[in-house]
Amino acid sequence: MAWKSIIKVEFPEKAEWFEEFYAANIDDVDPDFGGAIEFNFRMHQSSTGKQEPIPGLKLVHNKEYKIECKPELNMKPGDIIRFNKNDNSKYTITDIEFIIDSRNKYEYLYTATSWPGKIDDTKIMIVTLK
């Protein structure tokens, strides 16, 4: 189970998450977004060792980016991620997957034996953005 200070070291970058909400009234078809919630992330490193640039430093909106973070927030496809508090650096979540890799396998094993109810908190969430 990761502590907040460890998360800040392992996931040094900051971004904002805007959750998509649907109106209770069926006449209001357009979704609305909640307020910004700041979270820590790092860029996803592929199996070949290639790491993508940080979105916002290179604005290419037709390209997919992947970031990694801890599953602290209830992110889902359709939500918005904003980088550098810049409205030109907004991306929509298209996919979410959970992994265990060499960087967190010992944390996962320790939690599985000591805190089995917290095992999902040790996985890494890969968020695909476009």
% the chain with pLDDT above 90: 22
Confidence of residue 35 (pLDDT cuts 50, 70, 90): confident
Q: Count structural domains, the chain.
A: 1
Say how far apart CA 122 and CA 42 lie, in whole Å.
15
Local structure of 103: helix, strand or coil: coil
pLDDT in tens, 113-122: 776 766 666 7
Say how far apart CA 34 and CA 57 lie, in whole Å.
25
pLDDT value at residue 5: 60
pLDDT in tens, 2-25: 455 666 777 888 999 999 887 666
pLDDT in tens, 77-116: 999 999 888 888 889 999 999 887 766 666 766 666 776 7
pTM value? 0.74
Q: Which domain holds residue 77?
A: 4-23+30-129
Contact 20, 78 (CB under 8 A): yes
Higher per-residue pLDDT: 29 or 67:
67
